[in-house]
Amino acid sequence: MSVTFPRGFRAAGVTAGLKESARPDLGLLAVDGEGTAAGAFTTNAFPAAPVVLSRERIARGTARAVVVNSGQANAGTGEPGLDDARATAEAAASDLRCDPEDILVCSTGLIGARIPMDKLTAALPMAAAELSENGGDAFSEAILTTDTGPKTATATAGRYRVGGCAKGAAMIAPRLAPARLATLLAFITTDAAATPELAAALVTERVVPTWNGLVVDGAQSTNDTVILLASGATGGSRIGPSDQEAAELGEAVEAVSRNLVRQVAAGAEGATRTLVVHVQGATTHDDARRVGLAVAGSPLVKAALFGADANPGRILQAIGDSEVPVEPGGVRVHIGDIPLITAGVVADPNVDVAEAMKEPEVVLDVALGDGPGTATVFGCDLGYDYVRLNAEYRT
């Protein structure tokens, strides 16, 4: 049930006719009562209208619902696009009988396209009427664009539940920033009674680092959004960042995020296999992540992965081009037990690891030295279908 696995949430997904296909394209996720909210958004210099709206509203630390449309990104649409985002929130608030300021809005689809507001507002009452504790799957379907299927995950933390869903197949290289400061959209829910301070901390410390360790094509979307909602439906005292239960809840939130990240990488446009890069020995965790992203995001490495050809020199080049200071003599790279790079030197330029690289998930272990910095980054290969899909995206 993804986002409705935790208690205190209802969701729906309906077909509003926003896309040419008959698939659901309008999702509604509602909290029973006032929910605690936190989020992270794209740092692209051209944020979409719903990003501008939701980033401003979520700073209050509360929200009642999220409206998501697929088909039009409502990005590059100027002031009229902001008017559309506000009108979406107002229409949803009318149906849910709450303040429009309590409604968050997300959009995904073609950049520059206006949302057909007549169709959206006509369908919102139907979405509100279909809100259900069993509606998580319908919601996760409605937010998709070129995805091959929904991406959902659940976890538990003692008596608390955590659920989530995501969409994303291309235009993915998140560089999210917490709100207090294809497109990727992710929604994480919990029935814990989290304070706004804990929600913000979970996003900053658990959600953002995990999602920022994902790269599909190196293109950061104008619409990237990750929202965390806590219903508090389990009751009890509110949990703050320093409370004992916060750590266990954080682990569950991170586990759901990591599960969704892995699914996004596996379901990327044209992808045939996933690349997981474990980096250790960096000076900092950020440095480790930068190296991992350089490797997983390299077009040469991705193309080599598609062809099941390790080509260690491409991995060496990507590490060196990461702009992270490394001591070449301390760099080691393995696929399983097979060394590709030893002491900064390609072990065997003709190494045959084709069988290992034909697995659905290929794991590279990168050691940079003896520093404390570690990171795990997820990516995918680059195949013919990615070029075809994006060459024909509008047609």
Give the residue numbers marked as catalytic. Answer: 183
Residue type, 208: V
Report the alpha-carbon distance of residue 393 to residue 310 in Å, rounded.
30
Residue type, 306: F
Report the alpha-carbon distance of residue 71 to residue 26 in Å, rounded.
9
Candidates 209, 249, 245, 243; CA nearest to 226 is: 209
Tally the residues of the chain: 395
Q: What are phi and psi of 145, to 5 degrees?
A: -120, -95
Neighbouring CB atoms inside 10 A of 20's CB total 8
Q: State whether the Cα torsion 3-5-9-10 is positive or negative.
A: positive
Residues β-bridged to residue 110 = 72
Report the alpha-carbon distance of residue 340 to residue 348 in Å, rounded.
7
Q: Which two tokens stand for residue 183?
A: 């497109």
The residue behind tokens 């509606």 is 135
